[in-house]
Structure 1
Amino acid sequence: ALGLVSEAGMPAIADPGTAIVRAAHALGIPVVPLTGPVSLMLALAASGCQGQHFAFVGYLPQGAAERAARLRELEATAHRLRQTQVFIETPYRNAALLQAALQGLRPDTRLALACGLGLPTQAVHAARVADWRRQPPALPLHLPAVFVLGT
């Protein structure tokens, strides 16, 4: 028997572990996923965005210009396909990503940010970008966060 555990996520989903799961399949070892809190799904459920049609796109580029371009691309996809876009960032870059989103996204785009899900200090805020700009909430951006962008 072999167990794969993550300290803050779901192994092999936005978390290391894919290679181990593939190796287990190749060796004929049964793979039995266990349920538990998965921050991506919790954030999507709390976002108020479309939960029937979504894409998890991982991390966005670190460079400001590349990040801004990727945000515009994700926003265009969200509006064109009515497909919610879910992405993550490391805690030390959460503030920069949020700032880039608020500067570059359309006012009518919905943005949700879920910080520290599963912790007593968790916080979720979801609103149109125009509302974020008008009244930005105080969020624990130093915690792991999931960003959700939709229509």
Structure 2
Amino acid sequence: MENQFSHQGKLYLLPTTLGDNAPLEVLPVSVKQMIEKLDHYIVENEKTARRAIKNLVPEKSQPTLKFKLLNKHTDPSEIPAFLEACKNGFDMGLLSEAGCPGVADPGAEVVKIAHREGIKVIPLVGPSSILLAMMASGMNGQNFAFNGYLPIDKAERKSEIKNLERLSLEKDQAQVFIETPYRNNKMLEDLIQQLHPGTRVCIACDITLDSEYIVTKPVSEWAKTKVDLHKRPTIFILQKEY
């Protein structure tokens, strides 16, 4: 039986660093080797993608690179055409802005279409801030949920924080979420105000960077702690226990 992938290029999911550290401190050499080979990319921002490629493979010829842009401005009807290079036999790279493609990342839509079109998808190893935060949190790594961004509306946010606390207790499930970096300090204030004093909260920010800060303690202790999270990429995790 003929391999269904034999006539098409493959879609490689390429992680990137979580900040401005040396790429090979956190990325395996396999990512570097693949970027050496690929000229077709799907990215969120061409400028930052070119910089990431240059940092990892300085000798790479930039003029030969071809980019499709996938971000909040992309018309969903255009996305299937992004994989034309694969259909014509060229391998492509889906490059995240930070961390792993497809996880808290718009690249998931491209991966869904690749599967639908019979294009082989190959994920490469790299840093995921969500998993690294869970690993370091001391919370339930057997059962956790990533909730993305919480509501901006004050009443809705209060309700969702209470709901996540309830779920964490009922399901023995760590609840993971994020916030726009310039609202991180307000998020911590809201958690302190809304959660039970004994509920544990992990704050994991600047993961893999020199300024990395990962601390888990009860809300009652966070209320006494001064920490500035402003504009620092942060993962929040909460868990209420019996």
User: Considering the TM-score relative to the shorter chain, is it more than 0.5?
Assistant: yes
Confirm or deny that 1:99 pairs with 2:221.
no
Deviates more, 1:115-124 or 1:68-77: 115-124
Give ranges in structure 2 of 5+ residues lacking alignment. 1-90
Counterpart among 122, 125, 131 of residue 41 in structure 1: 131
**Where do 1:45-64 residues align within 5 Å?**
45-64=135-154
Q: Quick one: distance in 2 between partners of 1:63 and 1:113?
A: 22
Counterpart among 130, 147, 151 of residue 220 in structure 2: 130
Q: 2:80 maps to what in 1? A: none
Higher relative contact order (CA 8 A, sep 6+): 1
Q: Quick one: distance in 1 between partners of 2:113 and 2:171?
A: 35
Determine what percentage of the aligned residue pairs are the same residue: 44
Confirm or deny that 1:141 pairs with 2:227.
no
Confirm or deny that 1:25 pairs with 2:25.
no
Q: Quick one: distance in 2 between partners of 1:20 and 1:9?
A: 17
Size of the alignment, in residue pairs? 150
TM-score by length of 1: 0.94
Q: Quick one: distance in 2 between partners of 1:139 and 1:116?
A: 12
- Computed over aligned residues only, the root mean square deviation of the Cα atoms, in angstroms, reads 1.1
Give ranges in structure 1 of 5+ residues lacking alignment. none
Secondary structure at the aligned position of 2:176 is classed as strand
Bigger Cα Rg: 2
Secondary structure at the aligned position of 1:52 is classed as coil
**Where do 1:101-116 residues align within 5 Å?**
101-116=191-206
Q: 1:12 to 1:86 in 2, by over 3 A?
A: same
Q: Quick one: distance in 2 between partners of 1:137 and 1:34?
A: 38
